[in-house]
Structure 1
Amino acid sequence: MKKVAIILSVFFLATAFTTVAVWKNDKAHSQLAFTVTHLGVSDVSGTFNDFDVEVKSSKPDFRDASFTLSAKTASIDTRIEMRDNHLKSADFFDAAKYPEIAFKSTGIKSLGKNKYKLSGDLTLKGITKPVVLDLVYRGIIENPMSKKPTAGFQLSGIIKRSDFALGTGFPAPMISDEVVIKADGEFAQ
Structure 2
Amino acid sequence: MNRIAKLSAALLVSFAAASPALAAPEVYNVEGTHTFPRFSYSHFGLSTQLSKFDKTTGTVTLDKVAKTGAVDITIDMTSVNTGFDVFNGHIQGEDFLDTAKYPTATFKSTKVTFEGDKPVAIDGNLTIKGVTKPVTLKVTHFVNMPHPMLKKDAIGANATTTIKRTEFNAGKYAPNVGDEVTITVSLEAIKN
TM class, shorter-length: 0.7 to 0.9
Q: Tell me the equivalent position of 2:167.
A: 163
Largest Rg, 1 or 2: 2
String of CA shifts for 1:102-156, please: whole Å, max 9, x gaps: 1100112235663512110000001001111101452222222211112111111
Q: Which residue of 2 aligns with 1:26?
A: 31
Q: Return structure 1 stretches of 4+ with deviation > 3 angstroms.
A: none
Distance 1:49 1:32 in 2: 8
Q: SS of the residue aligned with 1:118?
A: strand
Q: Is the 8 A contact 2:93 2:99 kept in 1?
A: yes
Question: Quick one: which of 38, 46, 50 aligns to 1:45?
Answer: 50
Pick which of 138-147 and 107-116 moved more: 107-116
Which residue identity is paired with 2:31? D
Write the mapping of 1:1-189 to structure 2, written as runs, cut at 5 A. 17-59=22-64, 63-111=67-115, 114-167=118-171, 169-173=172-176, 175-189=177-191
- Check the 8 A contact 2:36/2:55 in 1, yes or no: no
Query: What do residues 29-54 of structure 1 show as CA deviations (whole Å, max 9, x unaligned)?
Result: 22111101101120111111111131
> Quick check: 1:114–1:136 contact (8 Å CA) kept in 2?
no
Provide the rounded CA distance (Å) in 2 between the counterparts of 1:30 and 1:158: 19
Is there any run of 5+ residues in structure 1 with no aligned partner, and where?
Answer: 1-9
* Matched letter for residue 93 of structure 2: S
CA apart distance, 1:82: 1.6
Cα RMSD of the aligned pairs, angstroms, is: 2.5
| Inter-CA distance 39–56: structure 2 relative to 1 (3 Å threshold) | same
TM-score by length of 2: 0.83
Deviation of 1:58 (Å): 1.7
2:9 maps to which residue? none
Q: CA distance change for structure 1 residues 77 and 69 in 2, over 3 Å: closer, same or farther?
A: same
Give percent identity, aligned residues only.
28
Provide the aligned length of Structure 1 versus Structure 2.
177
